[in-house]
């Protein structure tokens, strides 16, 4: 038996003060899911639903605990009156059906507005629409269904202004003209980020294991990098926009850049070791949950029924100043940027818990 299996569920959640875990089961449909609610101090918890064929139920539990906590920090740093939550459905996404999805929506209803969900990994637009038919607590809807539509635009814009802010911190000027930028992953968010960078005159390289994604940007003024040669060159900025865990002990042996700032969630492969290595290599890391908040800002506006794209983008633009706040805190307290972002998020939650 592994060490992790000896730890009780309550031990797993008490250190980070998770409020609630909800285990959902409908054997007739093959539905198994966990809803994690980290905090509702600032407001109802918001976070997407993802479906994944986890290797074990314990792995799913770890994922929902980590992701819901990250959503609390993301909402807090973004200045939203929202808490953090996440849902994971366990199993092969191929087993999804309309009854399956609507049954899951009923479990969300049981929480009576304490948790609001949106689209995440392996969940389609049609899944979200089906969920909305059964539950009011669903956001991130297409425009034709009364939502704000694709949240990849504000997410990409937030990463872009975050990169500019980090650049200003290092150079005193936020211009990205002629800056060498590697974008790892050019799906919906990465592709839009590339457009922002090119428009400002950056020297952009891209890498993606998905050939279709590469084809979608090949007509742009970008350099295509082979995945096996990803860290062979020196860059000003590396922007992870695909998988998490790419900034780890092994990759940092090869990475040569000044700034790491991207949209991918959970970029740090080992929180205990990586920040110190980043410091030793003099690489400025901008926490993902700080600069990829454009998506949560968008769905929050749906939740409060303020369907205004201009307001969403205006609030997303404030990520620029929030990055500078985190960097100032990091210097003042000799914290890593990741630790500073977490501390500022916790401070806002703590302040509101006293009200």
| C-alpha to C-alpha distance for 149 and 125, rounded to whole angstroms | 10
The answer to whether the CB of 326 falls within 8 A of the CB of 337 is: yes
For residue 128, report the phi and psi dihedrals to the nearest 5 degrees. -65, -40
Strands 115-116 and 180-184: unpaired
Cα distances from 38 to residues 20, 200, 299, in angstroms, run 7, 39, 18
The helix/strand/coil state of 174 is coil
Helices (H), the chain: 9-14, 57-77, 98-109, 125-134, 152-171, 188-199, 211-217, 274-280, 288-291, 294-303, 309-317, 319-333, 337-353
Question: What DSSP letter does each residue of 102-156 carry, written as one string?
Answer: HHHHHHHHTTTTSEEB-B-TT--HHHHHHHHHH-S-B----GGGTS---THHHHH
* Active-site residue, selected from the candidate residues 69, 74, 86, 180: 86
The answer to whether the CB of 262 falls within 8 A of the CB of 241 is: yes
Query: Known catalytic residue: 86?
Result: yes
| C-alpha to C-alpha distance for 262 and 292, rounded to whole angstroms | 7
Picking from 113, 46, 114, 52, the residue whose alpha carbon sits closest to that of residue 86 is 46
The helix/strand/coil state of 6 is helix
Strands 49-52 and 45-46: unpaired
What does the angle CA 281 – CA 321 – CA 323 come to, to the nearest 5 degrees? 25
Query: Hey, which residues are catalytic here?
Result: 86
């Amino acid at each position: 038996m592994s060490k992790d299996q000896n730890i009780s569920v309550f031990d797993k959640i008490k250190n980070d003060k998770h409020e609630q875990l909800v285990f959902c089961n409908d054997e007739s449909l093959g539905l198994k899911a966990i809803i994690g609610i980290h905090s509702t101090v600032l407001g109802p918890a918001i976070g997407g639903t993802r479906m994944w064929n986890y290797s074990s139920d314990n792995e799913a539990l770890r994922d929902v605990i980590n992701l819901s906590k990250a959503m609390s920090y993301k909402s807090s740093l973004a200045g939203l009156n929202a808490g953090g939550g996440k849902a994971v459905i366990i199993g092969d996404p191929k087993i999804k059906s309309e009854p399956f999805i609507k049954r899951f929506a009923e479990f969300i209803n049981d929480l009576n507005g304490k948790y609001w969900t949106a689209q995440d990994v392996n969940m389609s637009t049609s899944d979200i629409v089906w969920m909305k038919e059964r539950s009011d607590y669903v956001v991130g809807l297409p425009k034709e269904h009364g939502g704000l539509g694709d949240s990849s635009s504000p997410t990409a814009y937030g990463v872009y202004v975050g990169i500019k802010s980090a650049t200003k911190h290092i150079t005193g000027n936020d211009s990205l003209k002629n800056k060498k930028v590697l974008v790892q992953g050019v799906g919906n968010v990465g592709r839009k980020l590339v457009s922002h960078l090119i428009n400002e005159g950056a020297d952009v390289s891209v890498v993606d294991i998905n050939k279709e994604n590469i084809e979608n940007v090949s007509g742009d003024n970008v350099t295509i990098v082979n995945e096996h040669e990803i860290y062979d060159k020196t860059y000003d900025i590396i922007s992870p926009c695909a998988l998490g865990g790419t900034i780890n002990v092994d990759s940092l042996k090869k990475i040569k850049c000044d700034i790491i700032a991207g949209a991918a969630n959970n970029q740090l492969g080992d929180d205990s070791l990586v920040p110190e290595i980043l410091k030793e290599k003099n690489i400025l890391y901008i926490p993902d949950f700080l600069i990829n908040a454009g998506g949560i800002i968008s769905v929050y506006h749906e939740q409060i029924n303020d369907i205004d794209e201009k307001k969403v983008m205006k609030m997303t633009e404030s990520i620029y100043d929030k990055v500078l706040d985190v960097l100032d805190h990091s210097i003042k307290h000799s914290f890593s940027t990741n630790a500073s972002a977490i501390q500022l998020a916790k401070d806002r939650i703590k302040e509101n818990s006293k009200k």
